[in-house]
Amino acid sequence: MKLATWNVNSLKVRLPHVLDWLASSQTDVLCLQELKLEQEAFPEAELAAAGYGAAWFGQKTYNGVAILTRLPLAPRDVVRGMPNYPDPQSRVIAATVGDIRVICAYFVNGEAITSDKYQYKLAWLAAMQHYVAGEMRQHDGRVVLLGDFNIAPADSDVYDPAAWQDKVLCSQPERAAFEGLLALGLTDGFRRFHPDTVAYSWWDYRAAMFRRNLGLRIDHILYGHALAERVRDAAIDTTPRRWERPSDHTPVWLALDDSFST
DNA sequence: ATGGCTGCTTTGAGCAGA
């Protein structure tokens, strides 16, 4: 079973890329962020025709998240948003797929550490910590938390650590929040298989940042301790970032043994 | 580099992203 996350920066624009990547990557569960679609505008029929079921949480203009599952897999017990944190922004959707609780999240950006949006980010991160703690208990550690975290966990995840030091996405409180999630019994899937590899999941559209490979690793897949024995591989696939009119993010994936019932 | 680029918006220049 292969799970992946991808911030598509408008599903309306990127649907052809999503369909192409689903076909070429053979992904079973694809979590999307930044749909930028109202709930009613989700391309359910096009995805069904490609063999994927979906649960989604849309919003006009910004945000929006979705969980796509390769049929006959289907999202069950879908929860939109964090029940402990009323939020007008559609940033979180959770569903059970097979025997795994999948939590797809578009973490707050924060803009700058002096911004009110940064305070919103810190409050949102605290709510996420409590929410995931509860999901880990309720699902006995069979949890995958994946999405655009808008946090570069370490300096090795940043193309220019000196320039980014104490900036948003790299600040100590944000990195502490990331460590707090790991402390719940979660592991960074990419780092588990590539402890020393410098790799990025996002590159600014401007200044030829992708061509020069100047990016950040801010999209992550964390898996719960109960899944540790089943995890087989993880990677960042930079292929779609080379396609015409790409998202500024590229997919990150995790492969697990299929050995489950239900 | 106080930028760059892209997508969105009751179509326009401004917001947001990271």
A148 touches strand B (CB under 7 A): yes
**Mind listing the pLDDT tens digit of every residue in chain A (262 residues)?**
999 999 999 999 999 999 999 999 999 999 999 999 999 999 999 999 999 999 999 999 999 999 999 999 999 999 999 999 999 999 999 999 999 999 999 999 999 999 999 999 999 999 999 999 999 999 999 999 999 999 999 999 999 999 999 999 999 999 999 999 999 999 999 999 999 999 999 999 999 999 999 999 999 999 999 999 999 999 999 999 999 999 999 999 999 998 655 4
State, as a whole number of angstroms, the distance between the CA of A208 and the C1' of B4: 9
State, as a whole number of angstroms, the distance between the CA of A152 and the C1' of B18: 11
Which residue gives the smallest C-alpha to C1' distance to B7? A10
State, as a whole number of angstroms, the distance between the CA of A229 and the C1' of B15: 46
Q: Taking the model in full, what pTM does it have?
A: 0.97
pLDDT of residue A159: 98
A115 touches strand B (CB under 7 A): no
Which tokens is A196 given? 């020393």
Q: In what order do the strands lie in the sheet with A29-33?
A: A52-57, A65-70, A29-33, A2-7, A252-256, A231-236
The closest nt to A247, taking CA to C1', is: B6
- Which residues of A are known to be catalytic? 106, 148
How does DSSP classify residue A234? E
Which domains does chain A show, CATH number per domain? Answer: 2-256 (3.60.10.10)
pLDDT of residue A259: 64
Q: Which nucleotides of B are covered by protein (CB under 7 A)?
A: 3-9, 16-18
Nearest to A227 by CA among A67, A94, A101: A101
Q: Which residues of A186-217 are buried (b: 16+ CB within 10 A; e: fewer)?
A: bbbbbbbeeeeeebbbbbeeeeebbeeeebbb
pLDDT of residue A260: 53
Nearest to A135 by CA among A127, A228, A252: A127
pLDDT of residue A258: 83
The closest nt to A202, taking CA to C1', is: B18
C-beta within 7 A of nucleic chain B, residues 214-233 of A: 216, 218
